[in-house]
Amino acid sequence: MVEKLKNNKSSAVDADIPHSAFSGSTQHIKNQFSPSGLAYFLIGNFQKPTILFLHGFMGSALDWLAIAQALSEDFCCLLIDLPGHGQSLNVAKQNYSMRECAALVIELLDKLQIDKTNLVGYSMGGRLGFYLTGHFPDRLRKIVLESASPGLQSESEQKERRLHDAKLADKLISMGMEAFLEFWYDLPLFATLKSHSDLEKLKAHRKDNSPEKLAMSLARMGTGNMPNLWPKLRNITNPVLLITGARDDKFCRLNALVQSQIPNSQHKIIQQCGHNVHFEKSKIYTEIIQNFFTDGGNL
């Protein structure tokens, strides 16, 4: 399944990345790089099915660490840093678009000799997950998309969103990471995070990002620049689980519509949380996706 790692149960790696997990424990995670500079690492049993994890904006592969460790007995978890995030800072500018980023993911799967993988994507990573599902369905098994969108349906909406994302990118560069993080997590979308005991640790982890690289990600991979994937939804045959937080009204409504378009799909709404379900309700989230990936796709 995974190149040169078939007889191991823990990842072989190149460079240490010190990481203080949100639980407070300190780990040393080592990462490798794809030929195009995409950083990744592997956790779990390499004889077991693979799960590819895709993080959200300003996040990194390490956002999934606790969940990947919880699944490590039954799965091989492939965690990547998307372009401009984490350690993926040397990816060429032209590879920041949705199409090219998807190509980087497929390149990595080819490098690791992974013919098919399960997928979990959150927010921006979920949008990339929609793209991969629509364009590379034969490379995927089951798919979990959390708080994600298949894009905007009209050119006017896309244009308006591109202008919004451009202004947001300018704000990010002018404010700097620390001030922008305070602005970002004060948005109504993340209101439910304010009482979370680990919010400050989450912000601290994101301070290591490059404002310029994140701005490039916004400009090239933002919602306004992604293709409209709604027409592809009816053709999806993979089992799909859509997850949203009950207090995220916008994405609950959106994903109810998405679920009605995808034949083999379910929509799970998690109570007492908002947009970032896997962070707010990590234990419940882990149980849900583990059941989905192991029992034929039914919850």
Range in 7-16, 68-77, 195-204, 290-299 with the lowest mean pLDDT: 7-16
Please name the residues in contact with 54: beta carbons below 8 A apart, sequence gap of 6 or more. 80, 82, 119, 120, 121, 122, 124, 125, 126, 128, 129
How large a percentage of the chain has pLDDT more than 70?
89
Average pLDDT over residues 146-151: 98
Q: What is the pLDDT of residue 92?
A: 85
Are the C-beta atoms of residues 232 and 143 closer than 8 Å to each other? no
Going by pLDDT thresholds of 50, 70 and 90, the confidence category of residue 297 is: low
Taking residues 168-173, report their average pLDDT. Answer: 96
User: Mean pLDDT, to the nearest integer, of 231-256?
Assistant: 98
Whether pLDDT at 245 is above 70: yes
* Burial class for 282, CB neighbours closer than 10 Å (0-12, 13-18, 19+): middle
| Residue 231 pLDDT grade (very low, low, confident, very high; cuts 50, 70, 90) | very high
Q: What is the pLDDT of residues 181-198, one digit of tens each?
A: 999 999 999 999 998 999
- For 15-154+226-294, CATH gives 3.40.50.1820
> Per-residue pLDDT tens for 267-295?
999 999 999 999 999 999 999 999 999 97
Regarding pTM above 0.85, the answer is yes
pLDDT at 208 > cutoff 80: yes
What confidence score (pLDDT) does residue 30 get? 60
Least confident of 86-95, 116-125, 199-208, 240-249: 86-95
- Calculate mean pLDDT across residues 142-166: 97
What's the sign of the alpha-carbon dihedral 286, 287, 290, 296?
negative
Taking only the tens place, the pLDDT of each residue in 36-64 is 999 999 999 989 999 999 999 999 999 99
d(CA 288, CA 243): 10
pLDDT of residue 128: 98
Phi, psi of 145 (to 5 degrees): -120, 115
Q: Are 218 and 85 in contact (CB under 8 A)?
A: no
What's the chain's average pLDDT?
Answer: 90
- pLDDT at position 298: 57
Please, what's the largest Cα pairwise distance for the chain? 52
**Which of 1-10, 31-40, 131-140, 265-274 shows the lowest per-residue confidence on average (mean pLDDT)?**
1-10
Q: How confident is the model at residue 94 (pLDDT cuts 50, 70, 90)?
A: confident
pLDDT in tens, 71-86: 999 999 999 999 999 9
